[in-house]
């Protein structure tokens, strides 16, 4: 597998929108947090190395561009990586395709795939929750802040709460615990996120 530095160069090349890059960094951190959680609690269910989990998070929106139809989002990533001369394992590519399974029809099956699906929308809700705090600092966000905003349908309307609920259910976690894991992971890279 190619290095994280190579992946970051590709993101820099393909995305002028740095907020989208920050979303991918947040998802990378969330996937690392979920890996660590499951590795300690349910190690027999974790089949891939940590780097595959975090790489899936980092690259999951690589093909999210105006010219890629939503039905193909997640399926064009292998072409981009091949063009750039970088490689990732098939497990990573499958997780990326499965995070948009409602359109790609690549149904998540593994813990890694459901983790990516479950945390993707949640990272956006956590950022939105942070931005309405007076401090606008991720360190000041508590799990209860995110859960309150989660229940508020008019807040961050673009966040699909049903996807977060389904992801948590498939992972065997209460939504509150999923929020806590993802929030802590994002707080660990708050400087990179500018929050």
- pLDDT of residue 111 exceeding 90: yes
pLDDT in tens, 32-64: 999 999 999 999 999 999 999 999 999 999 998
Structural domain tally of the chain? Answer: 1
Kindly report the CATH number assigned to the domain that includes residue 95: 1.10.3210
Q: What is the DSSP string of 55-97?
A: HHHHHTTTT-STTS-GGGTTTSHHHHHHHHT----HHHHHHHH
pLDDT at residue 126 greater than cutoff 80: yes
Take residue 86 and report the two structure tokens written for it.
């970088």
By residue range, what is the domain housing residue 171? 4-193
pLDDT digits (tens, 9 = 90+) for 94-104: 999 999 999 99
In terms of pTM, does the model score above 0.85? yes
């Amino acid at each position: 597998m190619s290095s994280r530095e190579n992946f970051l160069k590709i993101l820099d090349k393909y995305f002028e929108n740095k907020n989208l890059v920050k979303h991918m960094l947040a998802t990378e951190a969330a996937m690392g947090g979920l890996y660590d959680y499951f590795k300690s609690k349910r190690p027999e269910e974790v089949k891939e190395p940590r780097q595959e989990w975090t790489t899936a998070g980092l690259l999951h929106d690589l093909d999210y561009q105006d010219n890629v139809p939503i039905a193909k989002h997640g399926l064009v990533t292998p072409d981009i990586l091949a063009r750039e001369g970088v490689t990732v394992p098939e497990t990573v590519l499958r997780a990326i395709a499965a995070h948009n399974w409602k359109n790609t029809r690549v149904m998540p099956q593994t813990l890694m795939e459901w983790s990516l699906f479950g945390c993707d929308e949640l990272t956006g809700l956590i950022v939105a929750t942070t931005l309405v705090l007076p401090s606008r600092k991720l360190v000041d966000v508590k799990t209860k802040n995110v859960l309150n905003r989660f229940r508020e349908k008019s807040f961050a309307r673009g966040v699909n709460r049903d996807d977060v609920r389904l992801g948590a259910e498939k992972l065997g976690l209460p939504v509150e615990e999923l929020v806590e894991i993802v929030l802590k992971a994002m707080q660990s890279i708050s400087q990179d996120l500018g929050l």
